[in-house]
Amino acid sequence: MNLLKRMLATCGFSALAAVGVATGAAQAQDYPTRNITMIVPFAAGGPTDVIARIVTGHMQQTLGQSIIIENVVGAGGTTASTRASKAAPDGYTLITGHMGTHAASVPLYPKLAYHPSKDFEAVGLIAGTPILILARKDFPPKDLKEFVAYLKANTDKLNEAHAGVGSVSYTSCQLLDAVLKINPTGVPFNGTGPAMNALLGGQVDYMCDQIVNLVPQIQAGTIKAYAIGTTERNPALKDVPTTKEAGLPEFQVSAWNALFAPKGTPKEALDKLSDALSKALDDEGVRKRLLDLGSDIPGPDRRGQAALNKLVEGEIARWTPVIQASGITQ
């Protein structure tokens, strides 16, 4: 009798497990059935926020559900990334990460509560975003050579704005400081938007940041752009020289923004999200908005989950020696 009960119990458990698996698979196939939350690790109005809103606006048309942007600031984007890494892996919580949150954060924060590749599933690369060397409109140097000489001669008198330790603006200027062998006073803000407002208001001297949102300001002359850290001039800012042209070839850097989901998110959901992102990047309206911002839209070979995984691993390897050499960890 006991043996019979055990057999029946085992069969019942197996049946329930099979139902659970079938239900989970069915839910993944039906995904999405409700709103999706997209966490953005920085303040509204910053580069990552703007890019996320552009692509998710089109993605939600493909997916048939709304994508709600939630801005979570703090600790250079790691507060938001930690939260996203611990969210339920069901496809309903995503994060727009970037070079800072999903690469430079590893060497910068020895006690980081997540690992970019171990605690996240890659969805896909959104766009590359070239880095500009910027200053307030009345900053004395006329070109990059004068800018470099001025920084070296007045380092202790100048302040360098950034969007928080670990942000793209912070990491990019860490590379610039390392190249120039200077150690200026850093002024952190809760996001690029507030940092840029301070630069526009002349409250800080200079900063490094992604091209997104900067084109109108540079063209209007409300801030100075000394150079762009790419091998070729950007079509959106044809008058701004590359760092190589301007005499600082050692400083070449371009950031990126990408979509991630918590580790364990079903493949069916990841595939649908990746497909929706790719369709957004192929849409003429989306492309125009991104290109007008100066972004680099990835081609088919740089899209998808595998390509993003490769990018993240390569970027961690790239930024680790830069951060370690700076001697700055949190």
> Where do the structural domains in the chain lie, given as residue ranges?
35-128+255-326, 130-237
Contact 255, 210 (CB under 8 A): yes
Tell me the pLDDT tens digit for each residue of 136-177: 999 999 999 999 999 999 999 999 999 888 888 999 999 999
How does pLDDT run across 244-303, given as a tens digit for each residue? Answer: 999 999 999 999 999 999 999 999 999 999 999 999 999 999 999 999 999 999 999 999
Fold matches, 35-128+255-326 and 130-237 = yes
- Residue 23: CB atoms within 10 A of its CB come to 10
Taking 90 as the threshold, does the pLDDT of residue 17 lie above it?
no
Burial 40-73 (b: 16+ CB within 10 A, else e): bbbbebbbbbbbbbbbbbbbbebbebebeeebbb
More confident call, 249 vs 17: 249
- pLDDT for position 48: 93
pTM of the model: 0.85
Instruction: Tell me the average pLDDT of the chain.
Output: 91
| 136 touches 202 (CB < 8 A) | yes
pLDDT on residue 14: 52
CATH number of 130-237: 3.40.190.10
Q: Shortest CA distance to 260 belongs to which of 94, 126, 106?
A: 94
The topology under which CATH files domain 35-128+255-326 is D-Maltodextrin-Binding Protein; domain 2 (3.40.190)
> Ramachandran region of residue 61, left (φ > 0), alpha (ψ -120 to 50) or beta?
alpha
State whether residue 277 is helix, strand or coil. helix
Q: Which residues pair with 95 in a beta bridge?
A: 39, 260
